[in-house]
Chains A and B, each alone.
Chain A
Amino acid sequence: MTQSVVIQVGQCGNQIGCCFWDLALREHAAVNQKGIYDEALSSFFRNVDARVVGDGGSISKGKISSLKARAVLIDMEEGVVNEILQGPLRDVFDSKQLITNVSGSGNNWAVGHKVFGSAYQEQILEKLRKSAEHCDCLQCFFIIHSMGGGTGSGLGTFLLKVLEDEFPEVYRFVTSVYPSSEDDVITSPYNSILAMKELSEHADCVLPIDNQSLFDIISKIDLMVNSGKLGAAVKPRSLVTASAEALRKRHKKPFDAMNNIVANVLLSLTSSARFEGSLNMDLNEISMNLVPFPQLHYLVSSLTPLYTLADVNIPPRRLDQMFSDAFSKDHQLIRANPRHSLYLACALMVRGDVQISDLRRNIERLKPSLQFVSWNQEGWKTSLCSVPPVGHSHSLLALANNTCVKPTFLELRERFTRLYKKKAHLHHYLQVDGMEEGCFTEAVSSLSALIEEYDRLDATKVFLQEDLALAQRTERKEAETMKIPGR
């Protein structure tokens, strides 16, 4: 069994990370009834004897003594990390895993990347090496950050190069929160474009996430839960947005619910590697199957179901609805409609009580309405994991390598160009040592090259009129199904 290390950078990264660890603990607690430290747990947690001072306390087998997350927390301000260390998860982290500063990056990629990058490089390397040493077989680094700010965006992407040099065999999976168009950070386009270049060059796989999409999903859930008719029937623990705190009181922080969705995605991604199933899918298989060309490694994710009804008898139609939802634009975690774009590859990771015949039936059913690239018409990768997430009997994570990411990149480039043309706020960046206008132009041409690749693939799309009509009919039907609760 392999281990993974989570590196959470910046405010966004650490907040999502916090939700991830909370959820991971609850998931393993639900599965691991006997309190034995097993291989599944070891993928994200170490078992240490809390009484031992220093490094020697690792216990590899036997009863769980004290679990420590395999994580490195990095932030150039102290607020968020301090809050984590005072919250319910304080025992899961220890001070040796933190790198903090007080001044913050001022929403400036250059400060995060160049200034703090060089200042903290040694420290970062040391913490990473330590985490790697604690692992028997380190397979993957999960980096969580946002693109629009300074620390997550700048220092987060600086890390990628460090990881690539120091641990070339270990996969780098990046979860990036892209700024939505209503983002309140004015310089977010600059930060995002500068970060994109690093992602394209040094990440193995990127899961882009959009705050607006997450917010829309939350609103939809709230609507369903509070619509009265359905309210009592929804199992509270089953909400994909649920966290331990939320169960006790209403979400104090609006981002909590949204972060939980992302945390759920990360857990589902790794579930088939951690738990048993009839068709396993390891993390290295994700990259192998979903990345046909090294540059095109942006995967659009969608998670269903968003909640479970209390109805225990789940007829196959309900199950099939879960598959249909995974392809609807309302369930994607970025603003995209995969149905209208071209699929390069698609992975379906199913958890819970679902068998191969259910999977096959749904693939056959959904295939005609989806467009796959001509050389990968059968581009499906599937996995079945027996362990469902907490509160659900089954769930589905769909990862799509689809040209529907293009609009997000196009929009980003447009916002960037609007600012850059006026040279607005540029001086904040240029006054940082090592930054020059060349960095900006290189970054934007790297993005343009990427967009061109997607354009080229889209050109091969043969979207017949009948297909378009079918797709539209299917969407209308789905929209109606969504409106009527209880179906």
Chain B
Amino acid sequence: MSIVTVQLGQCGNQIGFEVFDALFSDSHCSQGFCSKKENEAYQASCKERFFSEEENGVPIARAVLVDMEPKVINQTLSKAAQSGRWKYGQHSCFCQKQGSGNNWAYGYSVHGPRHQESIMNLIQKEVEKCDSLSGFFIIMSMAGGTGSGLGAFITQNLQDEFSNSLRMNQIIWPYGTGEVIVQNYNSILTLSHLYRSSDALLVHENDAVHKICAKLMNIKQISFSDINQVLAHQLGSVFQPTYSAEGSSHYRRNPLGDLMENLVPHPEFKMLGIRNIPQMPENSLAYSAFTWAGLLKHLRQMLISNAKMEEGINWQVRPPLSGLPPLGRASVGAEPHFNTSIANLVILRGKEAHSADLGEQKVTAYIHQYTKFGVEEEDFLDSFTLLEQIVASYCNL
């Protein structure tokens, strides 16, 4: 079954490129640890999920690229074409001339309705190319205007038009300080809307991935490209084909369905996080020896103590009574699962934005930029209420 990816905004497109690149390189890796037959089965399964075939043999990513200004999409398309190994469909992109200006309201209320038809047409075309559709993977950031606002709008549309398919949103949580000033507003609005229309929200924090790059990958001058590659590696682990119960040459067919089944038992709890282990620069791989037992032990403790990396894990923390649902995965130990730490994250960020809006002086900074495009104060309050409900539910667990 295939997954159609929708890349939105600068962040979505930059990450999307790295994800497809990682998926492709991994499945065509020359260092074979398995038999040839196994490799071929793996390759075929992986390819079917994410790429479609073209006449001259160059795989085309099953993706729709959307951005409100052309620079990033042009860059992404050319980078993919340059590699020569895979590329994006020529007509799979939708682009405008002027961006959303970091304004969620502009992305949701102006760009959304205006371009709804064109974007949904593109997605429809991509869906028709699939033999069977597992669902949608939507990559977006929460801090900006297009990814967040237009992303929320498109997810809602996908829910309306393709109600039988699953929607997994990959959202990027911005750095705590210094990316976009109105990021708290944009994030709150995005989260509350996505919670209603998405099936699962996979969250990645820029801060956490940055630390991984710094501490584990030993990169001195970290660029967004490095960060995106780490992200792509983690995402790849989630989506790459895994064995099914029948045996080693049969891969599970329905990636998104499986994930949802195991991870989102209740529609109230749909936030997911990824813990990936091991994470290290390629050069160090030769010098390390891993056993599955060791890796899994580390991973378990990472989950329990809510650590994002394998360094500095607090071994003192013990799990509460109910065990964590174990998942058997043949890929390199990525265990996405719902955990209460996301709830903590929401509380923290929710607090910051909260105090911005409803402090003693009733400061309404920047609101005029949002009301210009139809998002009123009530919408903000509604979003707060919804998120507080979610936080409360997680706390009750």
Which residues of chain A in 408-431 are interfacial with respect to chain B, using CB atoms and an 8 Å cutoff? none
Taking the complex as formed, is B103 at the interface, i.e. its CB lies under 8 A from any CB of chain A?
A: yes
Q: Which residue of chain B has its CB nearest to the CB of A356?
A: B224
> Which residue of the partner chain, among A356, A363, A374, A375, contacts B177 with CB atoms under 8 Å?
A363
Residues of A within 8 A of B365 (CB): 292-293, 375-376
Binds A, one of B70-78, B266-274, B305-313: B70-78
Whether B366 pairs with A282 at a CB distance below 8 angstroms is: no
Q: Which of A139, A276, A356, A384 counts the most B-chain CB atoms under 10 A from its CB?
A: A356
* CA–CA, A293 and B58, complex, Å: 52
Q: Are B180 and A381 in contact (CB under 8 A)?
A: yes
A-B contact count (CB 8 A): 120
A356 in contact with B227 given A137-B98, A382-B178 (CB within 8 Å): yes
Over the window 65-86 of chain B, the binary record of Cβ atoms lying under 8 Å from chain A Cβ atoms (1 yes, 0 no) is 0000111100100000000000
A136 interface hit (Cβ, 8 Å): yes
Complex CA–CA separation, A278 to B228 (angstroms): 11
Interface set, chain B 350-383, CB cutoff 8 A to A? 352, 355-356, 359, 363, 365-366, 368-369
Residue from B14, B225, B366 with most neighbouring chain A CB atoms (10 Å): B366
Residue of A nearest to B223 (CB): A355
B177 in contact with A367 (CB, 8 Å): yes
Nearest to B369 among chain A residues (CB) is: A288
Tell me the smallest distance from the CB of A355 to a CB of chain B, in Å.
4
Neighbouring B residues of A380 by C-beta, 8 Å: 177-179, 181
Q: Could you say which of A284, A363, A367 has the most chain B C-beta atoms within 10 Å of its C-beta? A: A284
Number of B interface residues at 8 Å Cβ cutoff, please give it.
Answer: 42
Kindly supply a per-residue 1/0 record for chain A positions 375-403, scoring 1 wherever the CB is within 8 Å of any chain B CB and 0 otherwise. Answer: 11011111010000000000000000000
Contacts of B366 in A (CB 8 A): 288, 291-292
Q: How far is the CA of A137 from the CA of B178 in the complex (A)?
A: 29
Chain A residue nearest to B101 (CB atoms) is: A284
- How long is the Cα–Cα vector from A355 to B176 in the complex, in angstroms? 17
B147 interfacial by beta-carbon distance below 8 Å: no
Q: Among A2, A291, A378, point to the contact of B176 (Cβ < 8 A).
A: A378
Does A82 interact with chain B (Cβ within 8 Å)?
A: no
Is A358 at the interface (CB under 8 A from chain B)?
A: yes
A39 contacts B by Cβ under 8 Å: yes
Contact A285 B99 (CB under 8 A): yes
Q: Which residue of B lies closest to A171 (CB)?
A: B101
The answer to whether B10 touches A285, judged by C-beta atoms less than 8 angstroms apart, is no
**Per-position contact with B for A40-64: 1 when CB-CB < 8 Å, else 0?**
0000000000000000000000000
Chain B contact residues, majority secondary structure: loop
Query: Which residues from chain B contact A97 at a C-beta distance below 8 Å?
Result: none
Q: How far is the CA of A290 from the CA of B366 in the complex (A)?
A: 9
Are A360 and B210 within 8 A (Cβ)?
Answer: yes
Closest chain B residue to A354, Cβ basis: B221
Contact A276 B71 (CB under 8 A): yes
How far apart are the CA atoms of A280 and B99 in the complex, in Å? 10
Query: What residues of chain A lie closer than 8 Å to B36, measured between beta carbons?
Result: none
Q: Does A449 contact B (CB under 8 A)?
A: no
Of residues 254 through 299 on chain A, the ones whose CB sits less than 8 Å from some CB of chain B are 275-276, 278-280, 282, 284-285, 287-294
Q: A2-B98, A137-B97, A357-B222 are in contact. Are A364 and B177 (CB under 8 A)?
A: yes
Residue contact B221 to A279, C-beta cutoff 8 Å: no
Contact of A1 among B70, B181, B227, B363 (CB under 8 A): B70
A12 on the B face (CB < 8 A): no
* Chain B CB within 8 A of A111 CB: no
Q: Mark A1-27, 1 if CB is under 8 A from B, else 0.
A: 110000000000000000000000000
Partner among B72, B177, B225, B227 whose Cβ is within 8 Å of the Cβ of A280: B72
- Chain B nearest CB: distance from A294 CB in Å? 6
- Minimum distance in angstroms from A298 CB to a CB of chain B: 16
Q: Is the CB of A282 within 8 A of B98?
A: yes
Query: Is residue B175 contacting chain A, with contact meaning CB distance below 8 A?
Result: yes
Q: C-beta contact mask, B158-182 vs A, less than 8 Å → 1, else 0?
A: 0000000000000000011111111
| Distance in Å: Cβ of B378 to nearest Cβ of chain A | 20
CB contacts (< 8 Å) of B182 on chain A: these are 288-289
- Answer yes or no: A359 CB below 8 A from chain B CBs: yes
Smallest CB gap from B368: residue in A: A294
Name the contact of B102 in the complex, choosing from A275, A288, A364 (C-beta under 8 A): A288
Residues of B within 8 A of A278 (CB): 14, 223-225
Is B214 at the interface (CB under 8 A from chain A)?
Answer: yes
12 intermolecular pairs with C-beta atoms under 8 Å apart: A1-B71, A288-B103, A289-B181, A293-B368, A356-B223, A356-B227, A357-B213, A364-B177, A380-B181, A381-B102, A381-B181, A384-B224
